[in-house]
Structure 1
Amino acid sequence: MSHDFVGATSGPNQVWLTDISEHPTREGKLYLCAVKDCYSNKIVGYSIDSRMKSGLAAAALRNAIALRSPEGTIVHSDRGSQFRSKKVVRLLKNNGLRGSMGRVGSSSDNAAMESFFSLLQKNVLDTRRWDSREELRLAIVSWIETKYNRRRRQRALGKLTPIEFEMIYAAADAA
């Protein structure tokens, strides 16, 4: 059974998706773990490191938790060892979050995360060869913070950006 979470939420922090991507530089690989809220498609937490260890996933989730203060959120990932680690499982449990994992080989489960990574690939990674990890790290952070979350209008959000979508619907809920 596929978990089709996208569009199935009625508010923020109900379902988050998370995954890790790998990016080459002349200096070596750089890994990005991102956490995406299914409600607004906003990247709510991320971590970047030169090693793909459980600490990468834990740091991304810690950042999302610190920014969002979620309760009972489902955190959906693939079955990668980083997401099954004691560190990540404990972090979810200690913060009242529920882990959810896709079936092995089920690409539809994380299609929404793959679309984010595809946009990152097209808009940042494929634009040139990256000399250093630090140079690429800064480019990724800049793109997420200024372009993806704040400027990229999304058809699924009624042509709003993720930040506009959350602000408008938060105001409507408060009224």
Structure 2
Amino acid sequence: MRRLDELHLEHPVYGSRRLRELLRREGLVVNRKRVSRLLQIMGIEAIYPRPFSSRPQAGHRICAYLLEGLEITGPNQVWCADITYVPLACGYMYLVAVMDWWSRYVLGWELSNSQEAEFCVRAWEASLELGHGVPLISNTDQGSQFTSEAFLDAVESAGTEVSMDGRGRCLDNRFIERLWRSVKYEDIYLQDYGDGLAAGRGLARWFAEYNNQRPHQALNYATPAQYYLDPDGHGARPAVWA
């Protein structure tokens, strides 16, 4: 599963057929059905438009994508959230993160051994508890965690509008997709964590360094914390959405 995760990061537009062929070239004989099943377990899908992309899961509410053409000019205008698969030496877990779109600042994150919505709600509530503001818009994909009533209630009760990507369109949430690539290649794959406790400790260190020490070219080589906590000093304009 780890190699499949690595291949998806390298080739995000590849579906199960192409990923199966890449695995076969490496001597890993596996059929497409198994690749599809593993991708489903890992919560991974290829990045490309699909027919009926707005079709919701049964009983779940789907919201429109609100960021098309929107100029994001400051912190707390848009927060985005996403889930990724975390391979461990013995098993795997899931990681959710909540990020401020403008500054790339990671406000909250949680690890879980299941894909239930509760750990996403905890990450959202922890982000609000930082006390730095409430976003105008929350943008996520259409995964069952983010279309659940528990998560939507948590977002809307804060007075935040809900925006959702089209299915299979991970580039709509591109900044957090870049975060996953960074955390996996710079930490998760290198550390090869043995269990969730070790992963949690290591990721806490990595996210602290990412927020407070890592310079970003897109932020004029400032850190996400510098942009998020001192927006006026970094060219922010009032966040307006109507």
TM over 0.5: yes
Greater C-alpha radius of gyration: 2
Could you tell me how far apart the structure 1 residues matched to 2:129 and 2:89 are? Answer: 33
- The yes-or-no answer on 1:124 pairing with 2:182 is no
* CA separation of 1:25 and 1:90: change in aligned 2, threshold 3 A: same
Q: Which residue of 1 aligns with 2:222?
A: 160
Could you tell me how far apart the structure 1 residues matched to 2:69 and 2:110 are? Answer: 23
- The yes-or-no answer on 1:28 pairing with 2:84 is no
Per-residue CA deviation, residues 44-68 of structure 1 (Å, 9 max, x unaligned), is 1111122211001101100111114
Q: Secondary structure at the match of 2:231?
A: helix
Per-residue CA deviation, residues 55-85 of structure 1 (Å, 9 max, x unaligned), is 0110110011111453452110000000001
Normalised to the residue count of structure 2, the TM-score between the two structures is 0.65
Q: Which residue of 2 aligns with 1:151?
A: 213
Could you tell me how far apart the structure 2 residues matched to 1:167 and 1:17 are? Answer: 18
Unaligned runs of at least 5 residues, structure 2:
1-64, 237-242
Count of residues in Structure 1 that have an aligned counterpart in Structure 2: 171
Could you tell me how far apart the structure 1 residues matched to 2:214 and 2:95 are? Answer: 20
Q: Which residue of 2 aligns with 1:18?
A: 81
Could you tell me how far apart the structure 2 residues matched to 1:155 and 1:171 are? Answer: 17
Flag the structure with higher strand content. 1
Cα pair 1:2 1:109 within 8 Å, conserved: no
Normalised to the residue count of structure 1, the TM-score between the two structures is 0.89
- The yes-or-no answer on 1:66 pairing with 2:66 is no
* CA separation of 1:76 and 1:5: change in aligned 2, threshold 3 A: farther
Runs of 4+ in 1 over 6 A off after TM superposition: none
Matching residue's letter, 2:223 = T
Shift of 1:171: 5.3
Instruction: Choose the corresponding residue for 1:137, options 195, 200, 207.
Output: 200
Cα pair 2:75 2:231 within 8 Å, conserved: no
Which stretch has the larger CA shift, 67-76 or 80-89? 67-76
Could you tell me how far apart the structure 1 residues matched to 2:100 and 2:69 are? Answer: 10
Unaligned runs of at least 5 residues, structure 1:
none
Could you tell me how far apart the structure 2 residues matched to 1:71 and 1:125 are? Answer: 30
Q: Which residue of 1 aligns with 2:28?
A: none
Per-residue CA deviation, residues 22-53 of structure 1 (Å, 9 max, x unaligned), is 11113321211101101110001111122211
Cα pair 1:36 1:42 within 8 Å, conserved: yes
Could you tell me how far apart the structure 2 residues matched to 1:116 and 1:51 are? Answer: 21
Cα pair 1:13 1:68 within 8 Å, conserved: no
Matching residue's letter, 1:18 = A
Q: Secondary structure at the match of 1:82?
A: coil
Could you tell me how far apart the structure 1 residues matched to 2:152 and 2:129 are? Answer: 17
* CA separation of 1:4 and 1:47: change in aligned 2, threshold 3 A: farther
Per-residue CA deviation, residues 94-145 of structure 1 (Å, 9 max, x unaligned), is 1111111001121320111110000001111111322111111111111001
